[in-house]
Structures are given as structure tokens and as C-alpha cells.
Amino acid sequence: MKNLQSTEEFQELAKKPAAIFMFTAGWCPDCRVIDPILPDIEKAFPDHTFVSVDRDQFIDLCIEQDVYGIPSFLAYSNGQETGRFVSKDRKTQAEIEGFISNLPK
């Protein structure tokens, strides 16, 4: 998974046909539980660009995007938000894959 480098990069990647942003933090135990399953999720959705957004590094972006709980996922297509899986709760592989599968095509 690619790590976001700048807010400008977020804007550019959001313009891709299918981008999934995972908002996370190094200190977040629920985020660390997801880490081992992310490669499998990425393999299951090869047409998506997956990007990790460090909440502490991009707090202003989190506020702008109304992301207050982590881990959280935002989906974008061609510059438009197409879905969000935002909460402070731990997420399972099935829940994450279900979220991506149900995004508008």
C-alpha cells in the first residue's frame, strides 16, 4: 500500500478511477490488526489504488474529510467520493471487502 506524501497527492490520487484511502496511525491497535490482511484485500481488488493516510501527519486532511475515527476508509472515483467506511471500531477483512464490493461502479 502506498503511503500518502502530501495533501496535493491526495487530490491527484482521488482523481483516479478507483482509489481507496485508509486513514490510520502507528499507535492505533485496531489499525495494526488490519495490516496483515491488507495485501489480500489489495489482491482481491487489483483495479483499485490503495493509499495509507497517516492521521497524525495529515490531521488537517482528516478534519477536512470528516474522519475522526480510525481505521477508516474513503473511496474516490474521478475526484468524487463514492463511499466511506468511517468509525472508530475494528474492521474485519470481510467488512472491508464488502465495503469495496458495494461501491458504485
- 55 Cβ contact partners less than 8 Å away, ≥ 6 residues apart: 23, 24, 25, 28, 62, 67, 70
**pLDDT the model gives residue 61:** 97
In angstroms, what CA-CA distances link 88 with 43, 49, 67, 94, 98?
A: 25, 23, 10, 17, 18
Residues that are catalytic: 28, 31
Beta strands in 1-105 (DSSP E): 2-3, 19-24, 49-54, 72-77, 80-85
**pLDDT the model gives residue 89:** 76
Per-residue model confidence as pLDDT tens for the chain (105 residues): 999 999 999 999 999 999 999 999 999 999 999 999 999 999 999 999 999 999 999 999 999 999 988 999 999 999 999 999 987 778 999 999 999 999 997
**pLDDT the model gives residue 83:** 97
pTM above 0.75, yes or no: yes
Give the chain's domains with CATH numbers: 2-101 (3.40.30.10)
The Cα–Cα gap between 97 and 8 comes to 27
